[in-house]
Structure 1
């Protein structure tokens, strides 16, 4: 997710980490048996299918406040939810919600509106978001056989291809530069997270979009050509910054996992493992993960962020890793849910005074908990 919480932590948030505490996590066992993990995954899926953050016009929003108010309509998240819907068993009302979300997104693409944050009104276009929109439209279009959605997905893919370079690292914004006067961040200046675009590009290749497969290969080859330092973060998420966005680093590892899974590229998997193992070295003593870590010095804050937690667990399971603290992490995730009836939603920052119920974290967590519940794995095109 690119538009929310992109600022670096300020100096007062930055703390020294007790590195010995990480090893203590190795002695903690999971308090979440597979049956409970599977039950929680089903509850998360039920909240999402039930329109947990959906507006009347079909758009999905990023989150729901404790009082029920929704955040702004979010094209990227609506793309994610379409990928989710494409692999769910839907009843009639859920199918209507999915169709409404798809129509809202296709209407935007068909009208030439690629802006990614309607609430900002600045028309900014993040290429990452276009990728998630592309894959969502193509995935749900294939599921339903809806030719309009497939056409819209191909149009979004061609827009993406028009803004990816033929060599070197891509810029995250379609303009090729961050807005004047803004601080450089992973989402407006970095490129590591754009590795996840390979998913949309492989989908587009399957939908007949010329040049998509080659663009995906260039993205991966460019990153694999970068040096991978043995004693520091194996990925840079924002140029000239000591801080690494763990959220963006996980996106990079996800993209590399997708490429290896879809195209059998062992070097991509090896780099995904390196990144994921480094992310797990940043685990907090309570079992969660924060927003940023120093390139060589551990976490930059002790404030947990649930989307990173879910991503780290999901990657560990997909890559067959058994990091110290996995059990503690799964327990922390299970305890970071707002549950009611047979539904559940992830609280983005559970320690906040009024934590919101977050849609993308809930999608990530649902897949992570399914894997912890014994799910055999995920296909590359299922990953949200």
Structure 2
């Protein structure tokens, strides 16, 4: 069996077009984009183009795009930056119990310095109920942050409905869309979000680059102080090389959404597993409202990591890669009230642009042999 990669939610390979777009920057665009001379101007131009490409994918203005070092920094800037700048209005934040650690841990930090955080639960499919968000709103609520889609189960959250609640109460709304951008349509105006996080390495761009979309008029305190880079919100000379890569990746995603979603292949994979193993395999997450590339299944009364260890050529995950090394029941599955005998057997398969039907057939056959 050749090596098969089904862990695209953890990280994606660089798209060839992205590599091609970045190559000239290595040699020809060495000036500082803030410089006004001949070496700086073309660098500033390619950086602006990258900003336009990202903005085009999520339907916003290029001036609302702030480049960061990745999704974690973008989330920290959104939460800490908004809290520090607006704590005089209130100290209450609403989030969910199934957020990525890049949201949960900043919230825990803010609690240590005076914030009050409400962590709402989810239903059996891993979805936040909008009415629970509304119930949690109080007079001192200043920020709501709910992920667009869950990185483990792929379940899509009712972001538009939550956005309407936030708007009704005059509360800022942030969503971590790291797993969603490039897989499903993400429109910041349709979703009614004020801030949105993008992680480059989740959509065929390099690691080490991300974006925080900040709606015009939303005020944040910078985490990194210095010169006035990134509209004064992130000091430090811009990483032009990686920004160009992310810009190209977003341009590609905008033109290929229909072809890279992989829903047919994901459905085929699930049907094959169900036909082979029947009730011994269970779907985790929403049956319809989930990312088209994500299949989180449990092999009942098995341990997911043991199964993966038996197929070393297969790259997949027992949950989020951030929980690697732990065989405890995933916190996400625990919040969904998945029984332990089911949850311990969970494996997250995440398909991508280069996944083939032949690879799926090989994986199903491999599981058949070890089970």
Say whether the fold is shared (TM-score over 0.5): no
Name the larger-Rg structure.
2
Give the TM-score of the pair, scaled to structure 1.
0.26
| Richer in strand (by share) | 2
